[in-house]
Amino acid sequence: MVGSLLATAVAVGLAELYSEIVGTETRTRRHVAREQVAEMLDDAVAVAFGVAFPAVFFVLAALDAMDTDAAFRIARWSGLGLIGFYGYAAGRLAGERQLRCVLQALAVVAVGGALIAVKALIH
């Protein structure tokens, strides 16, 4: 599971970087400068971190610090907390007021929670 999450994180991070480069070049009709790629890479690393983050819980399960079922549960819900944090942080970085940032985080968490619920029903 750890290897799968880390490989997925790399793939998603690279896809994020590629889509940013292609989108920027399409929109501006110019090649992306090296400085722009470095900035886009920072964003791609943040996305990859979000994907890889739950691997920590599976490492703990492999070390017998928790059981595998608990690792799955914690990974699922910690991801929800992480996207809530991202929603809040995005609002703050955009200069929004605290209440609006909290509402934005709650909206993101609600959508993520609904997706988790649907997935749990399907599986």
Q: pLDDT digits over 43-73, tens only?
A: 999 999 989 999 999 999 999 999 999 999 8
Q: pLDDT digits over 72-82, tens only?
A: 989 888 888 98
In a domain, 71, yes or no: yes
Q: Are residues 72 and 119 in the same domain?
A: yes
Distance between CA atoms of residues 100 and 78, nearest Å: 22
Q: Which domain holds residue 115?
A: 67-123
In a domain, 62, yes or no: no
Q: pLDDT digits over 69-120, tens only?
A: 999 989 888 888 989 999 999 999 999 999 999 999 999 999 999 988 898 8
Phi, psi dihedral angles at 88 (to 5 degrees) = -65, -50
Q: Are residues 37 and 77 in the same domain?
A: no
Is 107 in contact with 83 (CB distance < 8 Å)? Answer: no
pTM of the predicted model, to two decimals?
A: 0.74
